[in-house]
Amino acid sequence: MNKTRFFVMSQLAALILSALVVASCYTDVSTVNGRALFPVGWMFSEREEPVTASNGMVVSTDELASRIGVDIMRSGGNAVDAAVAVHFALAVVNPEAGNIGGGGFMVTRMADGTAAALDFREKAPLAATRDMYLDEEGDLTDKSVIGHLAAGVPGSVAGMWAAHQRFGSIQWEELVSPAVELANGFEVKERFLGSLSSTMVESLSNFPASAAQFLPRDGQPPLVGDTLRQPYLAKTLGRIRDWGPGGFYEGETADLIVAEMERGGGIITLQDLAEYTAEWRDPISFTYRGHTVISMPPSSSGGATMAEMANILEGYDVGSMDWHGPRMIHLYAEAWKRSYADRNHYLADPDFVDMPIDRITSEAYARVRASTISETAATPSIEIGPGMEGPAEGENTTHYSIVDAAGNAVAVTTTINSWYGSKVTVTGAGFVLNNEMDDFAAKPGTANQFGLVQGENNAVAPGKRMLSAMTPTVVANPDGTLRMVTGTPGGGTIITTVFQTISNVLDYGMNVVDAVNAPRIHHQHLPDQIYFEPAGLDPETVTQLQAMGHTLFERTGMSGDAQVIIVDGDLLKAWSDPRRGGQAIGY
């Protein structure tokens, strides 16, 4: 840590700094309790200015998609209209995660305070069986991760239609048309190529339609500045534009999906497609530091798990602790271990499993869980089980946040699980199918591709939605006004990343740039270790945490891709995570 910058700060200097902060209307939180905010060597700055606007804001992982959302609001659409348009645009320009062949979740909080949660998670095909991914010896195969059998029934198109039917204000055709134009050709930028590593190129090359679409230069990716044309995707989006969900779940697109299944040994049928529905559910709502946090219920585990960890930490004065100091990180890790232990045991598709959601999200239960935390020593995960009696996602998701001039807020997290999902592009339809079947507990008690060890409640069953960690979230001030919209991709790290963006703001007073750019940590109960990003922790802090009994692991890659909007008086202030290079755009 660069202690020399902050070794001695007189009260006079602090007062001068405070005056400068007020004068600039920009919260400089480069110090918290006298410590440098970010450790020496951290790659992102705490000195950047947020994107600000007065009328509306879209923040997503791609500039083109964000701009389309703003254009929709400029033309009279609301935040939900913009969300629909952004979703379909991301299916074109961010095909490694944006999609029409996957699913996701939407949380809305309208200007009148009405909140809603939309579950458009994929479902297991009706021909799915509990042990379909095990070999003759009972061991897991890779069929839940790659290839046709890995795909669940897609929910994205049904989800966007349901959102528009309930909250949309302009014509459906106007929302899908920009994506059709993009599919006819857009200029490739560096961000797009970030997903096409040599390993990914090799994987996509195994599927002819995927290679033809994404590797147009004789089996290699396009170059920066090339125009990527996806004519089959343009035709599919055109059918969706003209016929709504009927242009996807019926007719030519449905026939192409089923033909692809038959070609590769998949099991999605016309019946599966025709019977798919998105579901409106009651959001998870809880209070943290006096603010109301609104998030996603099962089949996402995000809201309930985040409620438990927040309720546990509510009992500690986190904001008085050094940010990313050993005490703060220790308490985060201990709260997260207990929350993930419950998440992995109890949570699943609510249409199939009864869950103690009210108990998990209660303050009383959090006090019981907190009573087992030592403030000086780590509790081994092997000693932490689910806290009640009961029955025995991919890094490459994408999130976007939107607020309109009226104060309507939308948070959407959507995915095909791994980058490019199953790696299978539907021949003649131009979109990638998900590999969300791996988010089931294909063999309960065994880790999935994100290391999450889940229980019997999340076992494969026909028509069942697989458990997710996606956590689109809206935060309201104590007086009921809008404060924050947040979310991220990141597989099992999603919940802890979203919580950290909220805690950075509510506990430590960070502005939106610092809340997003700050280094992240993670613990998910099993494996029993605290993950941190490269150069994301001070070595002295690592040593102190190890002395408390924690195992720490420095990741080789980054954690998440948060897209965050904060309301500051009459201004919207936003920041797109530099970890993947998106863009916040407002007007």
Contact yes or no for 337/381 (Cβ under 8 A)? yes
Secondary structure letter of residue 41 according to DSSP: T
DSSP string, 94-142: -TTT--SSSEEEEEEE-TTS-EEEEEE--B--TT--TTTTB-TTS-B-S
Minimal CA–CA distance to 108: which of 168, 178, 54, 56? 168
CA distance 216 to 188: 12
- Of the CA atoms within 13 Å of residue 237, those in its CB half-sphere come to 29
CA distance 297 to 357: 9
Hey, how many other C-beta atoms are within 10 angstroms of the C-beta on 137?
5
Structure tokens at 398: 């994408």
Structural element, H or E, at residue 450: none
585: left (phi over 0), alpha (psi -120 to 50) or beta: beta
Helix axes 302-313, 363-370, angle to 10 degrees: 60
Structure tokens at 254: 């449905």
Active site residue 397: yes
Contact yes or no for 57/572 (Cβ under 8 A)? yes
Structure tokens at 297: 């219920």
- Name the amino acid, one letter, at 285: S
Query: Three-class SS of residue 503?
Result: helix
CA distance 174 to 88: 12
303-334 burial code (b ≥16 CB/10 A, e <16): bbbbbbbbbbbbbbebeebebbbbbbbbbbbb
Helix axes 302-313, 326-346, angle to 10 degrees: 140
Which is the catalytic residue, given 397, 425, 427, 473? 397
Structure tokens at 189: 């930028």
Active-site residues, by number, are 397
